[in-house]
Amino acid sequence: MLDARIPEGPLELKWTQFKATCLLINPANRRKHKVIVVGTGLAGASCAASLSELGFHVEVFTFHDSARRAHSVAAQGGINAAKNYKNDGDSIWRMFYDTVKGGDFRSREANIYRMAECSMALIDQAVAQGVPFAREYSGYLSNRSFGGVQVSRTFYARGQTGQQLLQGAYQSLMRQQKIGSVVLHTRHEMMDLVVYDNKARGIISRNLDTGEIKSHSADAVVLATGGYGKIYYLSTLAMNCNASAIWRAHKKGAYFAAPSWTQFHPTSLPQMGDYQSKLTLMSESLRNDGRIWVPKKAGDDRKPNDIPENDRDYYLERKYPSFGNLAPRDISSRAAIEQINAGHGAGPLKNAVYLDFKESIDREGKQVIEKRYGNLFNMYEKITGINAYQEPMLISPAAHFSMGGLWVDYGLMSNLKGLFVLGEANFADHGANRLGANSLLQACVDGYFISHYTIMDYLAGNGLSKTDEKGLKEQFDKDTIRVKERLQKLLSIQGDKTPETFHKELGRILYSKCGLLRNAHALQMAREELKNLQQEFHQRLLVAGEAHSINFELEKAARVEDYLQLAPLIVEDALQREESCGAHFREEFQTKEGEALRNDNDFGYVSVWESTEKGEFILHKEHLDFNYVTVSERSYK
Amino acid sequence: MKLTLHIWRQKNAGSKGNFKTYPLEGLDPNMSVPEMLDHLNEILIRKGEDPVAFESDCREGICGQCGFVINGHIQSPEKSATTCQTHLRSFNNDDELYIEPFRAKSFPVKKDLCIDRTAFDRIIGAGGYIGVNTGQAPEANSILIGHDTAEEAFDAAACIGCGACVATCKNASAALFTGAKIAHLAMLPQGKLEAKARARAMVEQMDAEGFGACTFTRACEVVCPQSVSVANIVKMNKEFLWG
């Protein structure tokens, strides 16, 4: 059993207790400690800026050309906080409970409570930075509602909340860079994590413009490198999102938790053809005013506006009357795929459902809807050529958020000492399903309000001064050579299939056999297919160009190789967990009504995986204790 | 669908580039421009040729990473759109497309369609922030901001840092980019205190990076994917002179 090192004491005092007793370092000595931060999304940029403000020496790495581009930028709908500005019964406790329930009782109570507790300060911080959240005419902050809750606790900046929050963090980071306290390396990818004496001691980077491979040592390493939903190829993620940093760390000993828990977002645009490289997300906030339906009759070919009310099935409202169109994401996605699989799908490929605004437009007027969602409607029209004020949107579930990630303890530290994992890259807070608008929150809370305490606590007590410097240097040299050899190997195969081709095939296997719906038979087939694909990769990969200049193909090849190694672990995890919970739906384990059937007795733990040198997976468990909430069947009816 | 592409090929920053022609067939009108380039690269790689280097990440118009010149149109022939939001249905069958990188002295070409826009980051670093450390913030609703002010600040803050404004400007001026950040922060009560110093520092950095002066042709506003208004340039000048 793994120990998450959760502080003793009552739930609401755990974090206070931790802050009051953690070790500190005096301002003059902080400069002597160097921390490497990989990733400049919300979690990475906020962590780096906060550490730098305290006086630590921070070195930051991003593969992007600027720290403003990470995929946090694309989060649309909002960020949750238990401010209770709406006077609608919200509280830290309520937010905590909603999140535990939303995650289908597969996350840590202490972590979630802390996230809810820190949520309010985060809104304060963002406002102070100049984030232009939506306001009422009185000048007060405005809120809206998101899936899986009955209060309005979501703060938003039109449909570009992630962009605005990221700018706040990015600007804070650039301010620190300007005063020389942060060294920022753009267009640098982490090729490996250097572990010495069981501690994370630095990274090997590749300069993506020149190909230069370089060692960087530090007293602690922070990975804030985002999620890996792009492993499904067609996903809502950016093209360059990857699992590489966390997978490379995993291969150096960092445990990987719940790898198969990937959220499928219910309101993405459907796939339209084979050429497609990504699926664009439409914000969940649309479900506040849009009604989801499919034709009652399977195979109904009429245009949506020609289908009369009586021939429409508003299936979410029918099945989940108390949450209706705002049922949580896992449930909404599953309900959609059931309708599509049963032949009720809409659109040219019959792979979508309708999201209809007619009733809201009739009720509130086009202007009001335009004000709320104008940019989303524009975006929809740009992509599809369809005007959603006149006919319903076509939406479909798509791979989106990784609840899984590197295992971390309460202090966000991996089992490898000195390796901290923040934001979507860790597994910690969302259980088996993340609630909307909690992703931005977790990234921000990890980076602004948690990591600097826990990193300082580690640095103050780690005894790094006794390191054998010669041994450490040898480790760096060894890892550098390995990185160079790996890249040469990828270049030397000279087969006939590009990294992109392999990625697409990988995505097809995962979508069909380890996607929204899973079963043992399909998973076993996936295991075999992945084995073959991996073998084929090493025989037939074709990488253009060379290693000493800009080479996007080489970057992609290494990332796809990492994905091909992670995929079998995802399948293994899905196969091992013989229950349904949240986004993990095993068809063998469902209630009579077709809802997820959990097995708390046998699976009330987080699956935490270790990979051996030979590529075998060893399962460790972190038992989940629920001392404050009653574990129950999750109902949104 | 059939198109003839003329794409700017340049090995690296030091070499001279030129257009190379690639006829493409079997295209789908619903493909985005980057997806068309993916398709082309797949063909080039199989033929043993060097694929076209281009950057494109979110492919939904928000990260600011992509952005080329297509037949003289900065980013896109469509209004308020990025290159990744441009689909082949915007063109006619048998069209010829000239695709080249954004051109500006301060945005050197690194390879093919990739440019170096780090000058923008340095302008932000010079003062494009509110100097608040983590932990210092007061209760959020203690700072009241009128609805319209918040909306106006958002309009300025919506900039995605793509550089289209610079690329279209005959002077390669970064006035819209810089002005948008100065205006966003200056119109909010939290950002007022540092407004003048911020405007000075950012404008100085903008000049030091070699961007040209603004002669207010308003071309930038037209190509901006987020339709950031040139009114922000006026606000920048006001903060710089009298802030």
pLDDT at position A237, please? 97
B85 with A382: Cβ contact below 8 A: yes
B69-70 vs B95-100, strand pairing mode: antiparallel
User: What does each C-alpha distance from B52 to A100, A234, A237 come to in angstroms?
Assistant: 47, 22, 23
Neighboring chain B residues of A240 at a CB cutoff of 8 Å: 57
**Which of A124, A278, A549 has its CB closest to that of B12?**
A549
Task: Report CA A148 to chain centroid distance, whole Å.
Answer: 18
Nearest residue in chain A measured CA to CA from B46:
A496
Contacts (Cβ under 8 Å, ≥6 apart) of A471:
A196, A197
Contacts (Cβ under 8 Å, ≥6 apart) of A226:
A39, A41, A70, A71, A72, A241, A423, A424, A425
Contacts (Cβ under 8 Å, ≥6 apart) of A504:
A233
pLDDT at position A523, please? 98
Q: Please state, for a pLDDT cut of 90, what percent of chain B lies above it.
A: 99
Closest CA of chain A from B62, distance in Å:
6
Give the pLDDT band of residue A406 (cuts 50, 70, 90).
very high
CA angle B68, A163, B195 (to 5 degrees): 100
How many Å from the N-terminal Cα to the C-terminal Cα in chain B?
55
Nearest residue in chain A measured CA to CA from B62:
A74
Looking at the predicted structure, is the pLDDT value of residue A623 above 90?
Answer: yes
**Which of B35, B45, B157 has its CB closest to that of A498?**
B45
Distance CA A204, CA A188 (A): 10
Q: Are A161 and A75 in contact (CB under 8 A)?
A: yes
pLDDT at position A384, please? 87
Q: What is the average pLDDT value for chain A, to the nearest integer?
A: 96
CA angle A472, A249, A165 (to 5 degrees): 115
Distance CA A159, CA A143 (A): 13
B161 with A66: Cβ contact below 8 A: yes
B188 with A209: Cβ contact below 8 A: no
Listed by number, the residues of chain A in 171-210 with a beta carbon closer than 8 Å to a beta carbon of chain B are: 171-172, 174-175, 177-178, 186, 209
Which of A62, A65, A282, A553 is the best residue to mutate to test the B interface, defined by the most B CB atoms within 10 Å of its own CB? A65
Nearest residue in chain A measured CA to CA from B152:
A132
B121 with A66: Cβ contact below 8 A: yes
pLDDT at position B183, please? 98
Q: Which of A21-30, A207-216, A379-388 has the lowest mean pLDDT?
A: A379-388
Q: Which fold has domain B3-111?
A: Ubiquitin-like (UB roll) (3.10.20)
Give the pLDDT band of residue A479 (cuts 50, 70, 90).
very high
A125 with B30: Cβ contact below 8 A: no
**Which of B118, B161, B190 has its CB closest to that of A186?**
B118
pLDDT at position A321, please? 93
Asked if CATH classification 3.90.700.10 holds for the domain at A265-399, the reply, yes or no, is: yes
pLDDT at position A376, please? 87
Residue type, A212: E
CATH class of B117-242: mainly alpha
pLDDT at position B182, please? 98
Q: Establish if B89 touches chain A: CB-CB under 8 angstroms.
A: yes
pLDDT at position A505, please? 98
Looking at the predicted structure, is the pLDDT value of residue A464 above 80?
Answer: no
Q: Establish if A129 touches chain B: CB-CB under 8 angstroms.
A: yes
Global ipTM: 0.98
pLDDT at position A374, please? 85
Residue B9's beta-bridge partner residues? B18
pLDDT at position A506, please? 98
Q: Establish if B55 touches chain A: CB-CB under 8 angstroms.
A: yes
Taking residues A591-617, report their average pLDDT.
95
A128 with B130: Cβ contact below 8 A: yes
Closest CA of chain A from B7, distance in Å:
17
Q: Establish if A141 touches chain B: CB-CB under 8 angstroms.
A: yes
Listed by number, the residues of chain B in 114-153 with a beta carbon closer than 8 Å to a beta carbon of chain A are: 114, 116-118, 120-121, 124-126, 128-141, 143-147, 149-151, 153
Q: Establish if A549 touches chain B: CB-CB under 8 angstroms.
A: yes
Neighboring chain A residues of B10 at a CB cutoff of 8 Å: none
Give the pLDDT band of residue A373 (cuts 50, 70, 90).
confident
Q: How many CA atoms lie within 13 A of B228 on its CB side?
A: 30
Q: Is A373 buried (19+), middle (13-18) or exposed (0-12) by CB count in 10 A? A: buried
Q: How many CA atoms lie within 13 A of A236 on its CB side?
A: 28
Neighboring chain B residues of A209 at a CB cutoff of 8 Å: 110
Looking at the predicted structure, is the pLDDT value of residue B193 above 90?
Answer: yes
Asked if CATH classification 2.60.40.1120 holds for the domain at A470-578, the reply, yes or no, is: no
Looking at the predicted structure, is the pLDDT value of residue A73 above 90?
Answer: yes
Nearest residue in chain B measured CA to CA from A282:
B60
pLDDT in tens, A18-38: 999 999 999 999 999 999 999
**Cα dihedral sign, A245-A440-A165-A396:** positive
User: What does each C-alpha distance from B224 to A69, A518, B80, B227 come to in angstroms?
Assistant: 17, 45, 6, 5
Q: Are A543 and A554 in contact (CB under 8 A)?
A: yes
Tokens of B192: 């007022």
Closest CA of chain B from A40, distance in Å:
13
Residue type, A267: T
Q: Which residues of B70-106 are buried (b: 16+ CB within 10 A; e: fewer)?
A: beebbbbeeebbbbbbbbbebbeeeeebbbbbbebeb
B64 with A545: Cβ contact below 8 A: no
Taking residues B167-196, report their average pLDDT.
98
Looking at the predicted structure, is the pLDDT value of residue A383 above 90?
Answer: no
Q: Please state, for a pLDDT cut of 70, what percent of chain B lies above it.
A: 100
pLDDT at position B5, please? 98
**CB atoms inside a 10 Å sphere around CB B155:** 20
Looking at the predicted structure, is the pLDDT value of residue A240 above 80?
Answer: yes
In chain B, what are the domain boundaries?
3-111, 117-242
Q: Are B88 and B36 in contact (CB under 8 A)?
A: yes
pLDDT in tens, A485-542: 999 999 999 999 999 999 999 999 999 999 999 999 999 999 999 999 999 999 999 9
User: For residue B225, which of B58, B76, B31, B65 has the smallest C-alpha distance?
Assistant: B76
Give the pLDDT band of residue A203 (cuts 50, 70, 90).
very high
pLDDT in tens, A168-199: 999 999 999 999 999 999 999 999 999 999 99
Residue B96's beta-bridge partner residues? B4
pLDDT at position A462, please? 82
The alpha carbon torsion through A279, A284, A285, A286 (nearest 10 deg) reads 60
Closest CA of chain B from A237, distance in Å:
7
B28 with A275: Cβ contact below 8 A: yes
Q: Are A374 and A366 in contact (CB under 8 A)?
A: no
pLDDT at position B243, please? 74
Residues of A with catalytic function: 329
Choice between B118 and A594, residue whose per-residue pLDDT is larger = B118
In chain A, what are the domain boundaries?
35-264+401-462, 265-399, 470-578
DSSP B171: T
User: For residue A195, which of A401, A548, A482 has the smallest C-alpha distance?
Assistant: A482
Taking residues B28-54, report their average pLDDT.
97
Task: Report CA B54 to chain centroid distance, whole Å.
Answer: 14
Residue A192's beta-bridge partner residues? A204
B120 with A132: Cβ contact below 8 A: no
**Which of B49, B110, B132 has its CB closest to that of A128?**
B132
pLDDT at position A463, please? 73
**The CATH homologous superfamily of the domain defined by A35-264+401-462:** FAD/NAD(P)-binding domain (3.50.50.60)
Q: What is the average pLDDT value for chain B, to the nearest integer?
A: 97
Which of B3, B9, B58 is the best residue to mutate to test the A interface, defined by the most A CB atoms within 10 Å of its own CB? B58
Q: Establish if B170 touches chain A: CB-CB under 8 angstroms.
A: no
pLDDT at position A385, please? 85
pLDDT at position A528, please? 98
Distance CA A240, CA A608 (A): 26
**Which of A124, A177, A276 has its CB closest to that of B125?**
A177
Contacts (Cβ under 8 Å, ≥6 apart) of B169:
B104, B175, B212, B214, B217, B219, B220
Distance CA A136, CA B8 (A): 49
Three-state SS at A169 = helix
- Count contacts between A and B (CB, < 8 Å): 218
pLDDT at position A633, please? 86
Q: Establish if A493 touches chain B: CB-CB under 8 angstroms.
A: no
**CB atoms inside a 10 Å sphere around CB A87:** 7
Neighboring chain A residues of B32 at a CB cutoff of 8 Å: 277
